[in-house]
Amino acid sequence: MPELRVGERRWSVAPGSNLLDALNRAGVNVPYSCRAGSCHACLVQCVGEVNDRRPDALSPEQRQQGWRLACQCAVLGDLHVSAFDPLKDGLPARVEALDWLSAHVLRLRLRPERPLRYRAGQHLVLWAGQVARPYSLASLPGEDDFLEFHLDCHLPGQFCDAARRLQVGEPIRLGELRGGALHYDPDWQARPLWLLAAGTGLAPLFGVLREALRHDHQGPIRVIHLAHDEQEHYLAKPLAALAAHHAHLTIDLLTAAQAPAALSQLRVPSRQTQALLCGAPDSVEAFAKRLYLAGLPRNQLLADVFLPHG
């Protein structure tokens, strides 16, 4: 039976056990979100034998240092594990501002201890004490001097519960910065650009939109935001302000009741259209299906899916 060791603790597990499950069952409390190797919340450092299903998910430098994604690893032999320690391994930051953009969306602005290099559309693992979750960046590098996140607090969850208790000036730790699928490519400048978001899936697309405008995107831009009701179009005013200054920008705000009919009427203006989608799995699937039926080539669609947070 393989033996796991964390600090002074040792225990045996069945061969082939999922490393994340084995650690959490023993009370090590490694955070996780997607269980697909995307969010990187379950990062651990390992010495020993594992079968890693996603060796490509980390950089060669990280793998050389022993970092692995616990959700993607099966235990093959004895293993010494060190969980990611936000106090030692994370980048210090402080809460700069907290405010509610709607009844359920909490805007969190952070100022890191040192500048963080990122691009619009990326996401970052946030640590509030020992609770961690990945969130997409809504801020724009080079323009905003803070990191901005939009937290959907509609459903209870450990991180949202912790975020509600945060105070301005309070310390918080930043984990790994991830690429995500969403970005703006200057080569798209002349092409129609569609940004389709559901809920707080608007956060990374708001950054991508401003990046496109900063690059003087020439093609028509259409933003579609799907929300449960009109009150949850939490960026309606900033989007309207951008549209007032950019004639080629169109904003469509849809409620859940309006969505089926509105989506059935979608027609892409050109087969050169580039589409970026973000939100819950069912919403992203509905967006993608409609765009495929409208003739958009699959390689011109990029999507990030937001899974429910615990």
Residue 309 has what pLDDT? 54
Q: What is the pLDDT of residues 57-66, one digit of tens each?
A: 888 888 999 9
In the chain, CATH 3.40.50.80 sits at 186-305
CATH number (3.40.50.80, 3.30.420.240, 3.40.50.720, 3.40.50.10320) of 186-305 reads 3.40.50.80
Residue 217 has what pLDDT? 98
Residue 308 has what pLDDT? 62
Rg of the chain over all Cα atoms, to the nearest angstrom: 21
CATH of domain 87-178: 2.40.30.10
Q: What is the distance between the alpha carbons of residues 307 and 225, in angstroms, rounded to a whole number?
A: 18
Please check whether residue 32 is in contact with residue 39, taking contact to mean a CB–CB distance below 8 angstroms: yes
Residue 310 has what pLDDT? 47
Q: Read off the DSSP letter of residue 269.
A: S
Residue 252 has what pLDDT? 97
249-255 and 221-227: which strand pairing? parallel
Q: What is the distance between the alpha carbons of residues 261 and 78, in angstroms, rounded to a whole number?
A: 56
Determine if residue 295 is left, alpha or beta; phi over 0 gives left, psi from -120 to 50 gives alpha, anything else beta.
left
Please check whether residue 172 is in contact with residue 86, taking contact to mean a CB–CB distance below 8 angstroms: no
In the chain, CATH 2.40.30.10 sits at 87-178
Query: DSSP readout, 98-116?
Result: EEESSSSEEEEEEEESS--
CATH number (3.40.50.2300, 3.10.580.10, 3.10.20.30, 1.10.287.3510) of 3-84 reads 3.10.20.30
In the chain, CATH 3.10.20.30 sits at 3-84
Residue 114 has what pLDDT? 93
Q: What is the pLDDT of residues 60-97, one digit of tens each?
A: 888 999 999 999 999 999 999 998 788 888 899 999 99
Which residue ranges of the chain lie beneath pLDDT 70? Answer: 308-310
Q: Read off the DSSP letter of residue 18.
A: B
Residue 41 has what pLDDT? 79
